Amino acid sequence: MSSVNLCDNGAHLPYGETGMGTYGTNLAPACDKYSVLLQTDDFLNLAQKVPFLEKTSAYNIGDYGTADGAATMTFLGTLIESLREHHGSHVQFQVIHEDQEVNDFNSLFRRLSGLIPESPSYLQNIENVFALASGTHFYKQCVPAESMHIILCMIAVHWLSGKPPVNKENIYSFPNTDTDVRYMLEKQASEDWEKFLILRSRELRKGGLLVVATPSNSISTSGEMKICSGNFLSILNEVWKKFRDMGKISQSELVNTNMASCDKSLPLLKAPFEDPDSKVSKCNLRLLSAKLVDAPCEIYTEWKQRKEEDGVDDRVRYARRFVAAHRCWSNSAFLTGLAGTRSKDEKELIVNELYEQVEEVLQKRNPEDLKGANLFAYVYITKA
């Protein structure tokens, strides 16, 4: 679950104190849900079919957009155990955790070592496993050519390689966003997706496996578009625009805090593979499958369970947890997008007030009206 959100200088500012595992702490329920969706016999059988003939060499697995490692820590343990059972306990595994250079790698290594106990580290119970990090963002080549057997990228490729097209009235591209803006954003997302795939094709060995999970969207039979995390983004947008209207931020700051993100539809994700003359097809990448999955909001589920079983309608806790989970990935867009003439303290005051007001809005709204499931696409790709 990558922390990537690129601003002008390419830097994302991870939220929370370095080394404290803020991402995993606030997103733990969601992280478990994302990884559990991959822990199936079908996927593990597919992983076992990746060629690995030189048993004395290392079996290389990539965790791209790792953030602090929480999203894949448990799943990597399951995957490695399955591969060990298939290839032999003597096989050495090398896991390369990738993220951009300013990522909170301190938290990643503390989690790997067990100093941050949740999610449990795969290093603690499995021998012959070695963990490394690559501080290179995935719009560049991150590892040597033809070195990787499996690459995982969990909830990261929705981030763009640079600033998004200018959206004058919204921080995000919503279903009702101007058609031209939406078109330009999807064009940029398509180009970035192609670039990401071509780079991974260089890194994968022949027969290697690439698995990507990413926020997606869908269109109902009535023609209505549903976007991932749409309820939260709408409230965030509503409050931020109110700040603009009150003069707390400028119009240029509203534009500069446009999120460099695009939820990729299944047609967009499939497109490079459906054209035999595309650059992706010529790199010998082949689409095995692509599907949409609804992942229920774990924070809503907890609220509903407490209400039904204990009679406690704790909307304050619900709102606090909801904002904490989403602030992890969204905070940097506002902090880095505010004018450079503002001091660091002034920026932090404004952004803190933003999330405080979003939390207040959430407390007043019925969680039943906000429970929209999180829609994700899971894409399985091999290198022929």
Residues paired with 204 in a beta bridge: 148
**Cα 267 to Cα 285: distance, rounded to the nearest angstrom:** 17
Query: Is position 210 within any domain?
Result: yes
**Cα 262 to Cα 190: distance, rounded to the nearest angstrom:** 10
Q: What is the pLDDT of residue 97?
A: 97
Query: Is position 152 within any domain?
Result: yes
**Cα 151 to Cα 82: distance, rounded to the nearest angstrom:** 16
Query: Is position 89 within any domain?
Result: yes
**pLDDT per position in the chain (384 positions), as tens?**
444 434 344 456 777 778 777 877 777 656 555 555 666 768 899 999 999 988 889 999 999 999 999 888 988 999 999 999 999 999 999 999 999 999 999 999 999 999 998 888 999 889 999 999 999 999 999 999 999 999 999 989 999 999 999 999 999 988 888 889 999 999 999 999 999 999 999 999 999 999 999 999 887 666 677 888 888 899 999 999 999 999 999 999 999 999 999 999 999 999 999 999 999 999 999 999 999 888 778 888 889 999 999 999 999 999 999 999 899 899 999 999 999 999 999 999 999 999 999 999 999 999 988 876 688 899 999 999
Sign of CA dihedral 271, 272, 275, 276: negative
CATH of the domain at 342: 3.40.50.150
**Phi/psi at 304 (5° precision):** -65, -40
- The DSSP line for 328-358 is HHHHHHHHHHS-TTS-HHHHHHHHHHHHHHH
Query: Is position 372 within any domain?
Result: yes
Q: What is the pLDDT of residue 31?
A: 59
**Cα 287 to Cα 162: distance, rounded to the nearest angstrom:** 26
Q: What is the pLDDT of residue 39?
A: 61
| 3-class secondary structure, 205 | strand
Q: What is the pLDDT of residue 4?
A: 42
Decide if 162 contacts 9 (C-beta within 8 A). no
Query: Is position 144 within any domain?
Result: yes
Lookup: tokens for 18: 């370095």
Query: Is position 4 within any domain?
Result: no
User: What b-and-e string marks burial along 151-176, b requiring 16 or more CB atoms within 10 Å of the CB?
Assistant: bbbbbbbbbbbeebbebeebbbbbee
Query: Is position 9 within any domain?
Result: no
* Number of independent structural domains in the chain: 1
The enclosing H or E element of 106 equals: helix 105-113
* Domain carrying residue 77: 22-383
Q: CA nearest 58: which of 123, 145, 151, 147? A: 147
Q: What is the pLDDT of residue 22?
A: 80
Query: Is position 205 within any domain?
Result: yes
